[in-house]
Amino acid sequence: MERIRTEQVSDKELSDAKSYLTGSFPLRIDSNRKIAGFLTLVEFYGLGLDYVDNYRKFIEAVTKDDILRVAGKYLNTKNYVLIVVGDMETAALKY
């Protein structure tokens, strides 16, 4: 978390994230229930009825500077809680 707050992401990280978000988007609206939930969020956040049509453009427009700016504003590495769910023995985590 500290790295993303202080250093730009790599070209590959940015490209991979954009590919994931645009590629997985259709799965977010592949049923009537998901469409209804999605439209509720679009309305709640005032994103506009053309949000579905513009989603890819919005994602592609994100820059490394945007990520650095937003991470610096919203990620607080001094005051957060990390929750890990799993088998402690298998994960070999120490607490």
Q: In this predicted model, what pLDDT tens digit does every residue of 79-95 receive, in sequence order?
A: 888 887 888 778 777 66
Give the residue numbers spanning the domain of 16.
2-91
pTM of the model: 0.77
Q: Please check whether residue 86 is in contact with residue 44, taking contact to mean a CB–CB distance below 8 angstroms.
A: no
Write the pLDDT tens digit of every residue in 9-65.
999 999 999 999 999 999 999 999 999 999 999 999 999 989 999 999 999 999 999
CATH code of residue 25: 3.30.830.10
* Long-range contacts of residues 18-22, Cβ cutoff 8 Å, at least 24 apart: 18/59, 18/60, 18/62, 21/59, 22/55, 22/56, 22/59, 22/60
**Total of domains in the chain:** 1
